[in-house]
Amino acid sequence: MSGERHPFRMPAEWEAHRGTWLSWPHKEASWPGGFGPVPGIFAEIVRHLSPHEEVHINVGDAALEDSARAALGAAGVPTDNVFFHPHPTNDAWCRDHGPIFVQRKTGERPEELILDWGYNAWGNKYPPFDLDDVVPTRIGAELGIPVISPGMVLEGGSIDLNGAGTLLTTEQCLLNPNRNPGLSRDQIEASLRAHLGVSNILWLGEGIEGDDTDGHIDDLTRFVDPVTVVTVVEDDRRDANYRPLRDNLERLQGMTDQDGTPLTVVEVPMPPALYREGQRLPASYANFYIANRVVLLPGFEPERDERARAVLQGLFPARKVIVIDCTDLVWGLGAIHCVTQQWPRLP
């Protein structure tokens, strides 16, 4: 079925979840000299998700499962709604290597599929990635869910959808020759339309400084309802992020959804520039995760965190926006959205 049109769609992140998938962290080299706090941050994520939806965690072996259980236990996190799966991984970025679920309802019977896009660790930057590349297919085999391989490299963090036919992405990432050098822009768009159930593809430009993913959309702009996006802006003209984020804002202000309705654009400030060992880190308030009844927002600096939290809380009145300190997590060049992948509930 690869490349064929089919009437499946990827639900928006705010639609009801059955659960959330994580891959438990174990690659210390992803947080050089700073891995120690990372499992505790994952435990904090699980703490806030598990009361509201299932949490499914990829662990490669019994030792890693024991380590995960120990971290959850040390944090006082109940595990009655947490499920461990024996799928080995190279790293912890489940947003990018995890399963993307699509759905359709034919008559009274809802169906779901898993999309197993190609995964090459953001343009062959961090080999090996062979285990991560097959995670979706392994999950599909375990759960008895059919799997389609679209035949194109795509990370989950590079796309954001409104669930009604519109998809946001960036030129820097999807058109980068380190992903799909044999595919044109038209061919990439055709694959997105065919597999994700979208008709309207919106292209932003460049990503933020320090982002090793080549401009993932989940550090820039996110749908919060079918016609509203939150986008990060930088007010300091001297900052490297000022111009690319201003360009993205100007593009968004001229964009519409699949029905021609102009997008409502809500601005959120960037965190203060965050450095470690002289390296600019990709800290962004756009890297939040929308779950059942909660929104998990990465925190980097209390005063700016509260400004971002207040904006999101106004946009999600039925959910509690919770800030989780991610200053140690982002040393791995990602935050909360980067380590989570939603499993939509079947209608």
Per-residue pLDDT tens, the chain, 347 aa: give them.
344 445 899 999 999 999 999 999 999 999 999 999 999 999 999 999 999 999 999 999 999 999 999 999 999 999 999 999 999 999 999 999 999 999 998 777 899 999 999 999 999 999 999 999 999 999 999 999 999 999 999 999 999 999 999 999 999 999 999 999 999 999 999 999 999 999 999 999 999 999 999 999 999 999 999 999 999 999 999 999 999 999 999 999 999 999 999 999 999 999 999 999 999 999 999 999 999 999 999 999 999 999 999 999 999 999 999 999 999 999 999 999 999 999 999 98
- Burial profile 272-290: b = 16 or more Cβ within 10 angstroms, e = fewer: ebbebeeebbbbbbbbbbb
Residue 256 lies in a domain: yes
Structure tokens at 88: 């080995």
Residue 301 lies in a domain: yes
Residue 158 lies in a domain: yes
Torsion angle in degrees (nearest 10) through CA of 129, 131, 137, 143: -140
CATH no. for residue 324?
3.75.10.10
Residue 236 lies in a domain: yes
Q: Which domain holds residue 269?
A: 17-344
Q: Which phi and psi (to 5°) does residue 313 adopt? A: -60, -35
Rounded to two decimals, what is the model's pTM?
0.97
The answer to whether 317 touches 310, Cβ cutoff 8 Å, is no
Structure tokens at 1: 């079925």
Residue 39 lies in a domain: yes
Annotated catalytic sites, by residue?
338
Residue 6 lies in a domain: no
Residue 10 lies in a domain: no
Total structural domains within the chain: 1
